[in-house]
Amino acid sequence: MDKAKSTTSLLRVDGLTRRFRTSKGVITAVGEVSMTLDRGESVALVGGSGSGKSTLGRLIARLILPDAGTMFLDGLLIRAGRRPTRHERRLVQMVFQDPFGSLNPARTVADQVMRPLVIHGLHRGHERQRASELLEQVGLSPGSEFLDRFPHSLSGGQRQRVAIARALAPEPSLLIADEPTSMLDVSIRLDVLRTLRDLTEHKVGLLLITHDLASARYLADRVMVMQEGSIVEQGPIGQVIDAPQHPYTQQLLAAVAHQSPRRTQMERPHA
């Protein structure tokens, strides 16, 4: 079977490639990307719009299949083109950018957080209690007060927290957050990032997709810079920000320096 021992990394990706056929011809959204991510590690994937970040995230989450490449996930070898098993889907969960679009407006918070529990047969008979605990874990406290509410009665930040709770429900090893704060009010972004950061203390690996280097700096141990489908630079976050080697990274940093007077608020507390 496809079971084989990997290294100790939670995730190892080798030569992952995904092309799309468009009206302008075939484009390579992700081209032979290789990377690793460890348990409890927080990695930021940064790059400009269209550089392939979301496609790489969706490939790792198995929402789309690659054209080539292999992946080791929690010791499981996953070959290109094979449809994911339910277990493989469970291992990686995603949080998306739009907290308004990602929740079902017709269902209560409890329904949405309990659904993955039911699908995966977790906490049988105690799903509601577990949903309440998950809400508290992401800062919606007391959880019981949120269970019977509908998305329209929640703020953007609260909705995004519900989306994070729902993503945690299947007990993933890896959480991929694709621009999770870019549609939120600036004043609450930091709180949501802090919630994500706290998850890594529970051994969840985190891949933060962002065009915002300040968020990356706040949250990530390591950064990977993506341009036109390739990782052009990677390293410890402080090192890459302080001494960027690749011209594209230098450009991204120069853009931040111009745009973001709030940057100092996003510095790591102890860095």
Site residues for ligand ADP per CB under 6 A: 20, 22, 27, 29, 47, 49-55
22: DSSP letter: E
- From candidates 42, 54, 181, 249, binder to Mg ion by CB under 5 A: 54
Using the minimum distance from each CB to Mg ion, give the nearer residue, 30 or 241. Answer: 30
**Of these partners, ligand ADP, Mg ion, none, which one is at the site of residue 49 (CB under 5 to 8 Å by kind)?**
ligand ADP
Q: How far is CA 188 from the centre of its chain?
A: 18
Single out the residue of 76, 75, 80, 50 nearest to residue 64, CA to CA. Answer: 80
Judged by beta carbon distances under 5 to 8 A according to partner kind, the member of ligand ADP, Mg ion, none in contact with residue 112 is: none
Nearer to ligand ADP, 26 or 186 (CB): 26
Beta carbons within 10 angstroms of residue 192's beta carbon: 24
Query: In the numeric block, which tokens belong to residue 183?
Result: 């549609």
CB of 124 to ligand ADP, least distance (A): 37
Q: Which is nearer to ligand ADP, 50 or 142 (by Cβ)?
A: 50
Residue 210, burial from CB neighbour count under 10 angstroms (0-12, 13-18, 19+): buried
Q: How far is CA 15 from CA 32, 51, 142, 218, 263, in A?
A: 4, 17, 45, 29, 35
**Shortest Cβ distance from residue 97 to Mg ion (Å)?**
7
Cβ 56 to Mg ion shortest distance, Å? 9
DSSP classification of residue 226: E
CB of residue 145 vs Mg ion: minimum separation in angstroms? Answer: 33
**For the CA atoms of the chain, what is the radius of gyration?**
19
Q: Residue 81 CB, nearest distance to ligand ADP (Å)?
A: 17
> Among Mg ion, ligand ADP, none, what binds residue 81 when CB lies within 5 to 8 Å by partner kind?
none
Q: Which does 47 bind (CB under 5 to 8 A by kind): Mg ion, ligand ADP, none?
A: ligand ADP
How do beta strands 205-210 and 222-227 pair? unpaired
Cα(231)–Cα(218) distance, integer angstroms: 21
Smaller CB separation from ligand ADP, 192 or 225: 225
Residue 160, binding choice from ligand ADP, Mg ion, none, Cβ under 5 to 8 Å by partner class: none
> Which pair of tokens denotes residue 160?
């995004």
Closest approach, Cβ 229 to ligand ADP, in A, equals 7
Q: Quick one: which of 171, 6, 18, 175 has its CA closest to 87?
A: 171
Which one of Mg ion, ligand ADP, none interacts with residue 253, CB within 5 to 8 A by kind?
A: none
